[in-house]
C-alpha cells in the first residue's frame, strides 16, 4: 500500500511560517534558485523595480535611518521575506504608508535609482486584506539574506 501524503499550502499559510521553516520548505521543494524565483513570481506581488541590496548596502542604508525604521526592517529580517504589515506594530509602526515612504526614499538614495523600491506589496484594497485593513510586504531573497546578516540572525 502506497502511503502518499499531499499538503496544500497557500500564500497566506506560507507567510505564517517561521522564515527558517519557509526557506527549508522552499529549498526542499525547489532548487534554491527556484525558491527565489518562486517568491518573485508570487501572486499579487510585482518585483520589477524592487532592488536587491547587498550586506554592504544594508549597512549604509541603516546609517541614515531612524531607530523606528531600523526596528521595522528588523521585523522584516526576522519574519520575512514576506510579512503581514501588522507585524510592523512590534516596532511601534502603525502608519505603514509613512514607513513605506521613508524606506523608499532611503532605498533610492542608497541605489541612486529614482524608481527603486526596497519592497513590494500586494493589493491592500481587496479580499482579506481589505477586510482587515492591511496587506503584505515582500523583499527579494537577496535583500532578505542581507537584512538577516545585518541583524545577525543567521
What digits encode the pLDDT tens for the residues 7-18? 777 766 766 776
* CA dist., res. 82 & res. 143, Å (int): 12
* CA dist., res. 46 & res. 132, Å (int): 22
Check if the beta carbon of residue 151 is closer than 8 Å to that of residue 74: yes
**What distances in angstroms separate CA 62 from CA 75, 84, 89, 107, one per listed residue?**
14, 22, 19, 10
Check if the beta carbon of residue 72 is closer than 8 Å to that of residue 4: no
Report the pLDDT value the prediction gives residue 31, as an integer from 0 to 100: 40
CB under 8 Å to 82, separation ≥6 — which residues?
11, 14, 15, 39, 42, 45, 136, 137, 138
Report the pLDDT value the prediction gives residue 133, as an integer from 0 to 100: 92
**What distances in angstroms separate CA 140 from CA 78, 128, 137, 147, 153, one per listed residue?**
14, 23, 10, 10, 17
Average pLDDT, the chain: 85
Is the confidence at residue 45, as pLDDT, over 90?
no
In the sheet with 120-121, reading across from the earlier edge strand, the strands are 82-84, 136-138, 120-121
Place of cell 497566506: 12
Check if the beta carbon of residue 44 is closer than 8 Å to that of residue 123: yes
Is the confidence at residue 54, as pLDDT, over 70?
yes
Average pLDDT over residues 68-96: 95
Set of cell numbers at residue 47:
518585483
* CATH number given to 55-151: 1.10.10
Set of cell numbers at residue 26:
522552499
Q: Which helix (H) or strand (E) holds 27?
A: helix 19-29
Report the pLDDT value the prediction gives residue 36, as an integer from 0 to 100: 47
Report the pLDDT value the prediction gives residue 20, as an integer from 0 to 100: 60
Amino acid at each position: 500500500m502506497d502511503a502518499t501524503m499531499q499538503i496544500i499550502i497557500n500564500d497566506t499559510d506560507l507567510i505564517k511560517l517561521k522564515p527558517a521553516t519557509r526557506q527549508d520548505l522552499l529549498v526542499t521543494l525547489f532548487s534554491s534558485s527556484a525558491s527565489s524565483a518562486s517568491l518573485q513570481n508570487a501572486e499579487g506581488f510585482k518585483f520589477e523595480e524592487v532592488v536587491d541590496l547587498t550586506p554592504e548596502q544594508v549597512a549604509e542604508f541603516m546609517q541614515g535611518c531612524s531607530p523606528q525604521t531600523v526596528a521595522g526592517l528588523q521585523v522584516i529580517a526576522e519574519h520575512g521575506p514576506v510579512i503581514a504589515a501588522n507585524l510592523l506594530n512590534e516596532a511601534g509602526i502603525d502608519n505603514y504608508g509613512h514607513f513605506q515612504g521613508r524606506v523608499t526614499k532611503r532605498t533610492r538614495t542608497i541605489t541612486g535609482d529614482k524608481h527603486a523600491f526596497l519592497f513590494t506589496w500586494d493589493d491592500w484594497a481587496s479580499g482579506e486584506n481589505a477586510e482587515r485593513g492591511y496587506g503584505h510586504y515582500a523583499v527579494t531573497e537577496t535583500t532578505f539574506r542581507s537584512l538577516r546578516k545585518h541583524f545577525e540572525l543567521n
